[in-house]
Amino acid sequence: MLEESEGGGGFRRGEEIMADTNNYSDRRLHPRIDHGMPINVMADGYDFMSTTRNVSCLGAYCHIGKYVPPFTKLCIKLKLPVKKARVSKKIEVACKGVVVRTDDDPSGGFNIAVFFNDIKPVQQHRIAEYINQFIPR
């Protein structure tokens, strides 16, 4: 992973800490958390409602009932639960993604890893802000 140095004059190597129960080092550029939130996955005329198993501002891992092959283009909607001033609401984040991995789930269905390949910076920032509240400082 490359990060811009403070002076803007170069790059340096670095590692991020994954926000999970093991708290181990990972080479991901953005933190990923093991967290369930509502996700709507639409592909080839199918519409799946699911819950994420983990999520970052660049992708998600979730369970669906039908096989979707890698490289399938998806439309994604996430519902981010947000609490402000004692009021709970859900902020919807919509983007496009692509399946990068499909795994058989022994209990039935499939687990898919999705890369958000077409996401607006403001939407990506909303996911990052949500994730950051779970990362120990």
The predicted-structure confidence for 74-96, as pLDDT tens digits, reads as follows 999 999 887 776 777 888 999 99
Domain tally for the chain?
Answer: 1
Q: Is residue 119 part of a domain?
A: yes
Q: Which of 11-15, 20-24, 93-97, 103-107 has the lowest mean pLDDT?
A: 11-15
Is residue 24 within a helix (H) or strand (E), and if so which, with residue range? none
Q: Is residue 1 part of a domain?
A: no
Q: Which of 28-37, 48-57, 70-79, 113-122 has the lowest mean pLDDT?
A: 28-37
Q: Is residue 19 part of a domain?
A: no
In this structure, what CATH number is given to the domain that contains residue 98?
Answer: 2.40.10.220
Q: Is residue 115 part of a domain?
A: yes
**In the predicted model, what is the mean pLDDT of the chain?**
80
Q: Is residue 57 part of a domain?
A: yes
Terminal Cα-to-Cα distance of the chain (whole angstroms): 21
Query: Which residues span the domain enclosing 108?
Result: 31-132
Q: Is residue 20 part of a domain?
A: no
Q: Is residue 97 part of a domain?
A: yes
What is the Cα–Cα distance from 119 to 116, expressed in whole angstroms? 6
Q: Which residues, 6 or more positions from 22, have their beta carbon under 8 angstroms from its beta carbon?
A: none
Q: Is residue 9 part of a domain?
A: no
